[in-house]
Amino acid sequence: MKLLLVEDDLDMAAHVLAGLRERGHVVEHTADGREGLSRALAGGFDVLALDRMLPGLDGLAIVAALRRERIATPVLFLTNLSGIEDRVEGFEAGGDDYLVKPFALEELLARLSALARRPTLGAPATVLHAGDLEMDLIQRTVRRGGVSIDLGPKEFQLLEYFMRAEGRVVTRKMLLEQVWNFHFDPQTNIVETHVSRLRAKIDLGQRPSLIRNIRGVGYSLGV
């Protein structure tokens, strides 16, 4: 994955750069908004991570300028405040996701990977596969190795999200936002309970589980 980080907090930028490079990604960094825009316009990035408040040109203005130029590179906003206005403004300007600072490196990585691998335009798949697990999005049915599995609506939605992100790390926060539309962290462990119920249904008694725990980060569905 090749990404551009535009961030003026140099200490944090160094941490992110080190972490991402260690995992084999190609990362460019600048602390200046205008410089960031010109590099993004030059193209070649899978994903952009932009700070909302930047010297020179702020994150919103960069995205707006990119979208005007019909550059659709996915953008992740890094914001200091989880304000409602911040989030709405970010999406309205053309951002694709947002992450409130401070964040765990794994959270950032999971979100960047999700954005970078967003399916390209084309006929959307109606049947998803992950190993011997098969999900029919039209019939709303799930089968594993020929055995039909009965899922509740939320469980179906959760599994669909996992299957679309097959092999990638999905964090608890991402699930809360994408599956439940919760833009806050409830005290109750609703994600854990739903995942454990889903596992009980799709694993059919086999071990290890199709959905792996990634300690301190989240989950990953993989065969």
Partner 1 sequence: MASRTRLFRTASFRLVAIYGLSFTVASALLGAGVYRSVDAEVAREFDDRIGEESDALQGLYATQGGERLAQVLAARAAGGVFAYGLQARDGRLIAGVARPPSGKDGKPSLGWVEMPEAEADEAPEGAPEMLRALVTRLADGTYLVVGDEQRRTMGAMRAILVAFGWAIAGILALALAGGIWTSAQFLRRIDAMHGAARALMAGDWSRRIPVDATSDDLSQLARAFNRLFERIEKLLLANKHVSADIAHDLRKPLAHTLRRLEALRAPGDLKPEIETELEGAAADIEGVLATFDALLRIGQLQAGARRAAFRSIDLRDIAQEAAAAFRPSAEDDGRVIVEQLTTPFPLQGDRDLLMQMIANLIDNALRHTPPGASICVRTEADARGPRLVVCDNGFGVAETELNLIFDRFYRSEAAAFASGNGLGLALVAAIAEMHDLAYAASDNRPGLKITIVPNVGERDGAA
190 binds partner 1 (CB under 8 A): yes
CB 199 → partner 1: shortest distance, Å? 12
Which value, in Å, is the radius of gyration of the alpha carbons in the chain? 19
DSSP assignment of the chain: -EEEEE-S-HHHHHHHHHHHHHTT-EEEEES-HHHHHHHHHH---SEEEEESS-SSS-HHHHHHHHHHTT----EEEEES---HHHHHHHHHHT--EEEESS--HHHHHHHHHHHHTPPPSSSPPSEEEETTEEEETTTTEEEETTEEE---HHHHHHHHHHHHTTTSEEEHHHHHHHHS---S--SS-HHHHHHHHHHHHHSTT-SS-SEEEETTTEEEE--
User: Is the CB of 55 or the CB of 83 nearer to partner 1?
Assistant: 83
Contacting partner 1 (CB under 8 A), which of 168, 182, 199, 201? 182
Q: Provide the β-strand partners of residue 136.
A: 127, 141
User: Is the CB of 193 or the CB of 206 nearer to partner 1?
Assistant: 193
140 binds partner 1 (CB under 8 A): no
Contacting partner 1 (CB under 8 A), which of 189, 206, 214, 223? 189
Crossing angle for the helix pair 59-68 and 84-93, nearest 10 degrees?
20
Amino acid present at 115: L
User: Is the CB of 66 or the CB of 95 nearer to partner 1?
Assistant: 95
User: Is the CB of 13 or the CB of 47 nearer to partner 1?
Assistant: 13
Contacting partner 1 (CB under 8 A), which of 1, 8, 12, 64? 12
Site string for partner 1, 58-97 (x = CB under 8 A): ----------------------xxxxxx--x---------
150 binds partner 1 (CB under 8 A): no
User: Is the CB of 46 or the CB of 107 nearer to partner 1?
Assistant: 107
Torsion of CA 38, 39, 41, 44, to 10 degrees: 170
157 binds partner 1 (CB under 8 A): no
Contacting partner 1 (CB under 8 A), which of 26, 43, 44, 193? 193
Contacting partner 1 (CB under 8 A), which of 34, 67, 101, 199? 101
Find the part of the chain contacting partner 1 (CB under 8 A) among 64-72, 129-137, 141-149, 180-188.
180-188
Which residue ranges make up the site for partner 1 (CB under 8 A)?
9, 11-12, 15, 80-85, 88, 100-102, 104-105, 154, 180-190, 192-194, 197, 216
